[in-house]
Structure 1
Amino acid sequence: MKAKLKRIDTNSAVPLEKFQPEDPGCFGFWLNASIGSDETEGADDFQILVCNREWLEREKKLQTKNLERYVVLDGEYDMPSIMEALTKYLDGCVGNSWTEIVVQISKIGVWEFEGYKA
């Protein structure tokens, strides 16, 4: 079983294909990625912070909270590069169960059920 990206959006009213950060040279924004198993139709949502090194360094200086999970890119904003990096990472997320795969995806994003207790 492996992870498969089923849908992705900017977590806002702006469609992904029209999204542009204010400063393409220093950007950080959240993506909502619906990711599921390649063996099923369903998907779970993961919030993924996508940023470049300049933005990350600036935010680490400004914030007191810890930025633990993110996808960092070199250079300026480029959606094809972002999609390529995300797809490459997800291609490596394999396991015998969905739970095993979620642990791997959660290294870069926040799972919608993280911390949930029945």
Structure 2
Amino acid sequence: MNAELKRVHSPDIYNLKSYHPECSDSFCFLLQAMIGPAGEDGEESFDIEICTPKWIESHLEINDVLIGVHYLIVREYSYQKIIHSIEKFLLGCSGASWGEVAKKVSKLGFWEFEAHKDVGP
């Protein structure tokens, strides 16, 4: 079984395809990637923070530490590059069950069922 990107959504941005950040090299927003089994119905949400190095730098104090789990770091906003990067990552996410596949995908984004103990092997 393989993973497939079905669609993307952001609660912060109305239209991701035509979005232009106020500051092209310093921004951060939540992207919800709806991913499910390839060629089958169904999808689950994986939350990814899309941000730039400049945004990270501007939000770090001298002694701060940032753990970059579920971040996709880009130099500038490009809808096509973000989608391509997610799809490329998903090529390495396969397994015998959806639970197994979703655990691999959850390295990219926070899986909506990640806290559930009874998912997959």
* 1:72 alignment counterpart: 73
Task: Detail structure 1 runs of 4+ shifted over 6 Å in the superposition.
Answer: 62-65
Alpha carbons 1:4, 1:90 under 8 Å: kept: yes
Asked if the contact 1:60–1:67 (Cα under 8 Å) also holds between the matched residues in 2, the reply is no
Taking the aligned partners of 2:77 and 2:13, their CA distance within structure 1 comes to 19
Shift of residue 44, structure 1, vs aligned partner: 0.6
- 1:68 counterpart letter in structure 2: V
Work out whether 1:56 is the aligned partner of 2:61: no
1:76-109 residue CA offsets vs partner (Å, 9 max, x unmatched): 2111111111111112211111111111111121
Q: CA RMSD in A?
A: 2.2
| TM-score, normalised relative to structure 2 | 0.81
Taking the aligned partners of 2:8 and 2:58, their CA distance within structure 1 comes to 26
1:96 equivalent in alignment to 2:93 = no
1:94 and 1:69 map into 2 onto residues whose CA distance is 19
Ranges in structure 2 where 5+ consecutive residues have no aligned partner: none
Count of equivalent residues: 117
Q: Which runs of 5+ in 1 are unaligned?
A: none
Match of 2:112 in 1: 112
> What TM-score does the superposition give when structure 1 sets the normalisation length?
0.83
| % identical aligned pairs | 34
SS of the equivalent of 2:102 reads helix
Q: Deviations over 1:41-76 (max 9, x none)?
A: 001111111122222233343877744221122x22
- Give the aligned partner of residue 16 of structure 2: 16
Q: CA deviation at 1:2?
A: 0.8
